[in-house]
Amino acid sequence: MAPRADAPEAPPDTTAASAVAAVGGGDAPARMRGLLWLISAAFFMQTLDSTIVNTAVPSIAAALAVPPLSIKTALTSYVLTLAVCIPASPWLTDRFGTRRIFAAAIAVFTAGSLLCGVAQSLPQLVAARVAQGLGGALLLPVGRFVLVRSYGHRDFVAAMSTVATFGLLGSVLGPFLGGALSQLASWRWIFLVNVPAGLFGLWLNRREMPEFRRDDAGPFDPLGFALFALTSSLLLAAAELAAVREAGLAPMLACAAGALLLGALYVRHSRRVARPVIDLGLLRVRSVAVSLAGGLCTRLGVSGMFLLLVLFLQMGCGWSPIAAGLMMVPQALGAMLVKPLIHRLLGRHGYRRLLGANTVVVALLLALFALSSAETPAVLIAAQVFVYGLVMSLQYTAMNTLTFVDLPHEHAAMASSMGSTVQYLAMSFGIALATLLMAAFLHGHAPADYVFAFRRAVLALALLTLAAAAVFLLLRRDVPSTSASTP
């Protein structure tokens, strides 16, 4: 049964200081500082690998002798695996405890990184990325769940903003590191650098991770998990096949029909089991439903943006991998600049007004990228990326924390799992959609062809993102803001 929308707020953890104090020192206990560093480092490593392949795409394609757009499979396979496996995280956490599961996630992610670094073909690289995703799938939901339990509702936004900053740094520095390593050393190092980081994470997990588990975890739902995994995989397969002109229409339609059928079977199944892997009952809470639906629409529009921008800069404008990667750095600067203000902005304007207006700004910024060409000054592109990073940082933090506004602690693990699942499903579909649009508008392989395709593709993505603004307006005006019962 879904919790009531007016469920009383759980009391905050009075031992938890603000996240800023936890990272920077202050009066926060040393254990809380170490925990925040651990989760922040794990998020950084995971989001780094979600984007680090972007600027290395031409180098990897050349080394493996495949077209650049085909490398999208190495991107989507990773984020799809994250989305498919995340629903198992609440049960695994309840059954085995946060410390053991987080350690296993780091270990599997590190082993997958090693396999990526030694891959000799595109199928091997895709398989290794799936292995990475198996470990990475548990890092975000378990880490977010631990933050909710450790910091309580009142300090959660501050803690999540700190962690999200590190995650955003990973997603922004990923393209730069991918370009630098592929140009100055080898693309293989973009994965091998995770190995020492993973070993350090295992040591830190043993010292800092608290143990949360439930004695009444109950049985796992294998049928529900299989139905959800197959539905997600078939949906992405349909999107991938739509971008392959030689595949024809029949395979794509067959995958889409199969996904709809299995999805309907999962909805029916989830109503008959006590603990489904995805509790659709939580969607009865308006803030949860709007957060997930609005986040899905937003990420469909923005997730493939930087892959397109990297292809535009390298293939259309002739920039080097390092130069293209450096162009992502202004996004991190914009994100870090706005992070300290998000708590105050949500308290003043609330989720409905802030997300509705900010989503419109995101769409307008995407549309402005369509004005770029090979002759556009680098400083102008950098300024656009800076402002884009600023508004996207606000967008992501507000969307991620909105999910928990009306939920008590006992539903935090499931809500975290659902939020992370939607996030990565949207990312995988968003990347597939962006490459589909790019391929549809790309009628040659000359630089001018890439410029033309990029400009048309980002306009289409801007229109899709604009639709998300209407979703956030479905929030009630009295949704708690950070000045009241902030999650």
The pLDDT of residue 166 is above 90: no
Identify the CATH assignment for 19-220+277-472 out of 3.30.40.10, 3.90.1280.10, 1.10.10.410, 1.20.1250.20. 1.20.1250.20
The pLDDT of residue 328 is above 80: no
Least confident of 247-256, 297-306, 473-482: 473-482
Per-chain mean pLDDT for the chain? 79
Q: What is the pLDDT of residues 277-311, one digit of tens each?
A: 888 888 888 888 888 888 888 988 888 887 888 88
Q: What pLDDT is recorded for position 175?
A: 73
What is the sign of the dihedral through the CA atoms of 420, 41, 189 and 171? Answer: positive
Q: pLDDT band for 88, please (50, 70, 90 cuts).
A: confident
Of 150-154, 385-389, 430-434, give the range with the top mean pLDDT.
385-389
The pLDDT of residue 369 is above 60: yes
Treating both helix axes as pointing N-terminal to C-terminal, what angle do 98-117 and 194-208 enclose, rounded to 10 degrees?
170
Q: What are the boundaries of each domain within the chain?
A: 19-220+277-472, 221-276
Alpha helices by DSSP H, 185-285: 189-192, 194-208, 222-242, 249-270
Treating both helix axes as pointing N-terminal to C-terminal, what angle do 122-184 and 412-441 enclose, rounded to 10 degrees?
80
In three-state secondary structure terms, 283 is: helix
Q: What pLDDT is recorded for position 377?
A: 92
Q: Which two tokens stand for residue 80?
A: 């799809």
Least confident of 58-67, 156-165, 184-193, 346-355: 156-165
The pLDDT of residue 485 is above 70: no
Q: What pLDDT is recorded for position 475?
A: 83
The pLDDT of residue 24 is above 70: no
Query: Do residues 75 and 54 make contact, with C-beta atoms less than 8 angstroms apart?
Result: yes
Q: pLDDT band for 77, please (50, 70, 90 cuts).
A: confident
Query: Higher-confidence residue: 151 or 102?
Result: 102
Q: What pLDDT is recorded for position 409?
A: 65
Q: Which two tokens stand for residue 13?
A: 């953890």
Q: What pLDDT is recorded for position 29?
A: 44
Q: pLDDT band for 216, please (50, 70, 90 cuts).
A: low
Tokens 């079977």 -> residue = 265
